[in-house]
A and B are shown apart, each in its own frame.
Chain A
Amino acid sequence: MALKLRANSALFLGAVSLVCGALLAFGQARTQEPITARLAEDLQNSLSQVIPPEVHDNDLLANTLTLLVDGQPTTFYRGMKEGTVSAVAFQMVGQGYGGPILILMGLDRTGSVLGVRVIQHSETPGLGDKIERGKSDWVLGFNHHSLADLGPGGWQVRKDGGVFDQFTGATITPRAVVTALRRGLKLFGAERETLLDPDATGEKKP
């Protein structure tokens, strides 16, 4: 057997750690730029799904506004058409069954939903993952609805007295998404004036 005990085991372990650390740092440095670029492309793609191209004529990534929401800076991507803000998209986080669910929602000026997409989640495959657009049409059910037409009571899953379907065997996941969307709609209502002001800049509110 090639393995035998040596006194300088600790040194060897240290050296391997050092080499692994160096490799990881090198890998991180090499991949950081492409990963950032890919993620920006993904964001652009997702944004174009929640804000249809016909309602805006600007670069969504260029016109952003950052506001403090519950102490967290939240970025709002704004679609502009003929000098007015025509649509706003932002991310909300829902607490799902398997961890946080990252949701991107797009609203028009009146606060009615243009589109909703789940960006990231770790829900049960085959059950909770029906919130993905790629797996089912469920997220399309939010389109054209607003806080005004359904009321806060309507923005719940059917089981809780609302209008949106839960999934067989998975209630926590859709409930988390619907709750996050309801919060998002309320947030839009509260910040409406700032968000729809084309001259508003990205300064954070105190």
Chain B
Amino acid sequence: MNTDYRRIARDGLWDNNVVFAQMLALCPAIAVTGTASNGLGMGLATTAVMVVTGGVISILRHWVDAAVRIPVFVLLIAAIVTLVDMAMNAWLHELHKVLGLFIPLIVTNCAILGRAESYASKNPVMASAADGLFMGLGFTAAMVLLGGVREVLGNGTLFTQAALLLGEPFKAIELTLIADYPGFLLMILPPGGFLVLGFLLAGKRLLDRRLSRQQKPEPITAAPYEPA
């Protein structure tokens, strides 16, 4: 069976986006997206975990039986996240200081268990890892978008402290869009997360509807009128 990687990519990034279509992972999505940089960091760390868990669970898929699959998946995900946490603390210490708080939170991301259950447990290793990669990237994009909108509305800045996360060369993307912005606290607080998420979801629906209308004209207007 050939794996349709384009389908996987399209699913992960748009059609079946973790946040905007599956509506999963809303806890980290709203908790850490006070700034675009936080969203990016959390998104990338989650992507790494999703690729590894997708692969590992896919390898084990023939041995795991249905009765104990959920505890097995949870155990594997928790172990992998903890290993990533320890390894980053030891060898990527500066990055860990920025992301430290968020990494253990990855365990609570139901999207990872969701993909393990609905994709990796039924598909070959490469496809599962690719699914993890694109689901993770889709999640990252959603997190950056959500964090960016909240940051601009809440603080008038974009990508503050990106240099802490990505290194000094990225100092240039730290923008102050609105000088002397008085700040809009609600956007930084969790309610702002819900509000922005709501508007982004509505926006995606509108866009999807418009796209599908373009692709296939609506039958009512396209089909010739036939009197009964």
Contact = CB atoms under 8 A, between A and B. Distances in A.
Contacts of B61: 2-3
A42 B94 CA distance: 10
A126 B35 contact: yes
Contacts of A1: 122
B65 A126 contact: no
B34 A126 contact: yes
A125 interface: yes
Interface residues of B, number: 39
Contact of A27 (B32, B83, B122, B188): B83
Contact of B87 (A10, A31, A134): A31
Given A3-B64, A9-B65, A122-B101, A168 B185 contact: yes
B67 A9 contact: yes
Nearest to B83: A27
Nearest to A16: B72
B140 interface: no
Interface stretch (B16-24, B74-82, B126-134, B209-217): B74-82
A18 B142 CA distance: 36
Interface residues of A, number: 31
A24 B83 contact: yes
B65 A20 contact: no
A10 to B, nearest CB: 7
Nearest to A129: B34
Contacts of B71: 13
B66 A35 contact: no
A30 to B, nearest CB: 8
B89 interface: yes
B35 A27 contact: no
Contacts of B72: 12-13, 16
A126 B188 contact: yes
B76 A4 contact: no
A31 B92 CA distance: 11
A38 B89 contact: yes
A13 B71 CA distance: 8
A134 B174 CA distance: 14
Given A27-B83, A27-B87, A35-B90, A20 B75 contact: yes
A69 interface: no
Interface of B: 32, 34-35, 38, 61-69, 71-72, 75-76, 78-79, 82-83, 86-87, 89-91, 93, 97, 101, 121-122, 154-155, 161, 164, 183, 185, 188-189
Interface of A: 1-6, 9-10, 12-13, 16-17, 20, 23-24, 27-28, 30-31, 34-35, 38, 42, 122, 124-127, 134, 168-169
7 tightest A-B CB contacts, nearest first: A34-B90, A126-B188, A31-B90, A20-B79, A3-B66, A125-B34, A38-B93
